[in-house]
Structure 1
Amino acid sequence: MRRRSDAADSAPCLPINDDCWPSEISDMRNGFAGTMNSYRTMALHPALLRAWAPLRRHVVKDNALGPTRSELVVLRAAYRLRSDYEWKHHVSRARAIGFSDERIRAMCGTPDGEDGLIARAVDALFDERRLPSALEAELSAAIGRRAVFDLIATVGFYSTLGYLVMTYDTPFDEAIAIELAARPLSPPVEDACTSDEGLRKYCCSDGEDVAGYLRD
């Protein structure tokens, strides 16, 4: 068997285009897998993408969190991962379901109410690798235990996607790049939102007057 050259071994794993789409997952190309560069990258491992699909169906579509809470979880996870790809894609999704940019920005800080509870839960999973008992009880009382399970699963799911797209420098999908160029909302940077300067530098649209936001 011919071995690939060192140059080929170190080449980036670019998203697969239609001409090179693997025959064993040909039925998936016109579904979710063909619509995003993250999954076109995962298609380089067809068996993984095939196995991923039913979990994605639950985490993205059928979870007990509902669309709003789910987006809050993903935004916080993207912030903690420092994944530009996941952050920008979920800024777009959050806007599409009615989030204001102020609410999105708040998820890289210390939001109030249930948004803050969700942010603390995601942080606990990153920092402690578990939900402490008191936090789990508070979260279960607020959103239900099945939703807590799905919150944990969502963080794991999007962490895996984040690792993949950051490892292979997966490019933004064209529509997202166009939207975020027109309406920028800067990607997350670790510990960026612990100060007013952090908010100005990392969490606000380019050129935007943030004085009002900082006063709120």
Structure 2
Amino acid sequence: MTRPIAPIRDADWPEAVADLRTGFAGKMNVYRIMAHHPDLLRAWTGLRHHIVQSSALGRMRAEVVILRLAYKLSSSYEWNQHVLRGLDVGLSTKRIESLRGPVCDMAQDDAQLAGAVDMLLAHHRLPPEQLSQLETLIGRPAVLDLMATMGMYLTLGFMLNSTQCPLDDDVAADLAATAPDLMM
């Protein structure tokens, strides 16, 4: 049986991305997995920066999208990471919990965002009426950022689930202390 790809240790960190080890990439196991392919990790940085720092969705809406996607992908690593991030940007535990349930049980804005995630996963596009409603809610740049966010986190979800990437120790500890009922 082949072992899963493990996060790269500091001692084995590739020289080609040495400058990324002390930043975001060295802090999270998901990027320590990606460091097995330094060119991919380097290319990833620009999109990641936009999605995490500059998205027209804003942090709270982005977390709703990411959490719904993580739940739908059964990506415990992403779900657990983003429960903490969601709490940090002001999502309540009740609101986060609702993202695991049916869209009809969510607050209206969350239902529109989660509904878009569900539709894109199921049908790979948004029908014109849903696209128009979403654009009215969040604006055209944010609709495009929603799709880009999903693309980025789909890729991460595939990597995380396939490699069985372990949750970062600090995140596991914080989540166990803060919101153990939300752990996946």
TM-score (structure 1 length as normaliser): 0.81
Aligned to 1:93: 85
Gaps of 5+ in 2: none
2:111 counterpart of 1:116: yes
Gapped runs of 5+ residues in structure 1?
Answer: 1-6, 188-216
| Counterpart AA for 2:13 | W
Question: Residue 156 of structure 1 aligns with which residue?
Answer: 151
Query: Which one of 10, 16, 21 corresponds to residue 18 of structure 1?
Result: 10
Which residue, out of 36, 39, 44, partners 1:44? Answer: 36
Distance in 1 of aligned mates of 2:100 and 2:123: 18
* C-alpha separation in 1, matches of 2:165 and 2:48: 19
More helix by share: 2
Paired residue secondary structure (1:91):
helix
Question: Greater CA deviation, 142-151 or 103-112?
Answer: 103-112
2:123 is the counterpart of 1:135: no
The alignment partner of 1:131 has SS state of: coil
Structure having the higher Rg: 1
Equivalent pairs, count: 179
Instruction: Report the Cα offset of residue 100 of structure 1.
Output: 1.0
Distance (Å, rounded) in 1 between the aligned partners of 2:154 and 2:19: 26
Please tell me whether residue 172 in structure 1 is matched to residue 167 in structure 2: yes
Match of residue 146 from structure 1 = 141
* TM-score computed with the length of structure 2 as normaliser: 0.94
Superposition CA RMSD, Å: 1.0
Q: Which amino acid aligns with 1:17?
A: R
* Letter matched to residue 42 of structure 1: M
Could you tell me how far 1:115 is from its partner in structure 2? 0.8
1:179 CA displacement: 1.9
Q: State the shift of 1:112 in Å.
A: 2.0
Aligned AA (1:177): A
Alpha-carbon deviation of 1:54?
Answer: 0.4
**What fraction of aligned residue pairs are identical, expressed as a percent?**
47
